[in-house]
Structure 1
């Protein structure tokens, strides 16, 4: 939960005195080791707001890896955890460019800021007065109002919503347990164009969604499952995989593309598709676009003689059956030290197997363990990072 900010805290932090106090607090270490001493220093000067100052500086530091240009923002711990990474928020804003937009769960404004950069009319609302007060500091160009997401206070604008996914029991993937509940939110948006950001683990197949389901990853990590209403997409009743990079490059694949590929023996490379492609059910479509094929029709690993742009490949050196003594001998003969283990379709714990194999050499290798037909196969490979991949 972190520190519970009050509206009085926000008024202080946005005042000239508060800005000066934050600048002083930013010079402190504020680590777990130094926190007690640093908090004591802050209490001597700003006794009423010492905790708010320390928490704000610590959260700003955490935000650097997630949000761009947010050095002067205000956060709560929960709001920062749920905030959309800048690259993902920017992608959604570009898709909505030129439309009037109403973010009905704007929180501290991570999505709101990117929407303001692409659209002329942007409204933000939230039921939490503290987060809304923070949003007024973080995104001063937006029109902000306190309102319930289930009672949209706008007309015609596209609705953007990001229901909270954390309950008292932790993270939830149950659509009815979101806050606000997904079914209620969809009902409230009836007759409007809207997009709802959900957790990447959402079982969207059970929703029978009539619009577009977009699975988005950033730098190889799946970030969200976005549900686009039919009026906002050219691909109704379809899935889309969007792969974003913090460097700015992006890649999109939809279910409209061909998926006719073959199954065969390994080529020079094994490719483990990005999680967004797998979650979107577009592995075969991805393979077809780049001339790859499958080792087994039920397994997501792909193979071929090239590595697609931006993907990470594993150059096949040899293959052996899943027998630990034989695998250990092969790794030893190749001077294996650092060992990455990828597994699909076989009941193997990578961490436990790595401990048993005890690699002690100097060379970085990877094991791709998979099921081909009825047998388990181990491919000993040389991993190559995406930017080094070659045909």
Structure 2
């Protein structure tokens, strides 16, 4: 859960004395071996103030891989976990360029920071006084007020929200009531303005019929979020979009593109589409764009004679009917001792299977286990970056 910051903690951290304490504690390594010792040193140096200072130093170090320019930011543990990665926040903010925008769930200000760089004017609001105080530190110069997201307090023509997620009891898919505030209530309250709602990519999109465009975004291979766009923020003629952010570059595919995609046996290459493409239901559109085909119309693996550029693709070495016994024999014959196992459409646990295969050899390869029709199928590959 992390340390429970108070408004007094935030006031201290923002003061000159707090800045000096943060600099002093930040000089400590806090490695796995030294952590207990370093916490003791901080306690001796700062007395009762040590806990928020130590927590802030550790959170800032964690934030480096997620947020830009966060070296002077303040966080809670939960807020940092929920904060939008900077690259994703910048991408989403780009649709608000030149607009007056209200971030009605601004938390510690990660999205507000990105908006402030492109919007004509922006305002942030939240109910949590601690997170609001942190947002004022993190996004100086922007108006931040305490307000309920379901009770509009501005006349901004564009609104963005990032509802918190409740405990969904381990469900893989999220529903509107799993969010605070609930998604359907947000849509009702802001029915007269352009609205963008960030939500978990596991949301059942069918329960958000009010969204004019659903965009699923991945960052460096990991699916990060879905954004529900309405009215003037949505792209005309597009209801689903997958956006892939990688290495400072980006590309998108939408359902406005052709989806003519044949089904055929594996060719020279096997392609596992980015998770955003799969989650957005745009595998066939992606395949049509790049001249690829599906192995099975219900499975997301694709094949082709040439893979799209800039992705991790798999050169096909051998393929056929899958049984554990035959795969074990094949791997032994090829001298494969390290094996990446990818599974889609079969009830196979890669870690359990890998142990049973008793690999021995010097080569490293990838095996894809899937099904074609009702038949279990394997594709033995060599992974390459194209």
Distance 1:235 1:358, change over 3 A: farther
Listed as ranges, the gaps of 5+ residues in structure 2 are none
Q: Distance in 1 between matches of 2:165 and 2:95?
A: 24
Q: Distance in 2 between matches of 1:288 and 1:20?
A: 58
Q: Distance in 1 between matches of 2:100 and 2:38?
A: 45
Q: Which shows bigger deviation, 10-19 or 335-344?
A: 335-344
Offset, 1:210 = 4.2
Superposed CA offset, 1:145-195 (max 9, x none): 111111121103310100001349678822113111111111121201110
Paired residues of 2:211 and 2:228 also in contact (CA < 8 A):
no
Distance 1:170 1:76, change over 3 A: farther
Q: Distance in 2 between matches of 1:250 and 1:277?
A: 13
Q: Which shows bigger deviation, 24-33 or 286-295?
A: 24-33
1:195 corresponds in structure 2 to 196
1:229 corresponds in structure 2 to 230
Offset, 1:11 = 0.9
TM-score relative to the length of structure 2: 0.96
Q: Distance in 1 between matches of 2:188 and 2:210?
A: 13
Paired residues of 2:102 and 2:156 also in contact (CA < 8 A):
no
Q: Distance in 2 between matches of 1:272 and 1:169?
A: 29
Which structure 2 residues correspond to residues 79-228 of structure 1 after superposition, within 5 A?
79-167=79-167, 173-228=174-229
Listed as ranges, the gaps of 5+ residues in structure 1 are none
Q: Distance in 2 between matches of 1:269 and 1:52?
A: 53
RMSD: 1.6
SS at match of 1:46: helix
Offset, 1:132 = 0.6
2:268 corresponds in structure 1 to 268
2:358 corresponds in structure 1 to 358
Count of residue pairs brought into register by the alignment: 385
Q: Distance in 1 between matches of 2:323 and 2:169?
A: 41
Q: Distance in 1 between matches of 2:234 and 2:180?
A: 25
Distance 1:160 1:236, change over 3 A: farther
Q: Distance in 1 between matches of 2:47 and 2:93?
A: 41
Q: Distance in 1 between matches of 2:338 and 2:136?
A: 48
Offset, 1:69 = 1.5
Offset, 1:39 = 2.2
Q: Which shows bigger deviation, 40-49 or 283-292?
A: 40-49
Q: Distance in 2 between matches of 1:249 and 1:115?
A: 20
2:328 corresponds in structure 1 to 328
Q: Which shows bigger deviation, 306-315 or 157-166?
A: 306-315
SS at match of 1:332: helix
Offset, 1:64 = 1.1
Offset, 1:314 = 0.9
1:69 corresponds in structure 2 to 69
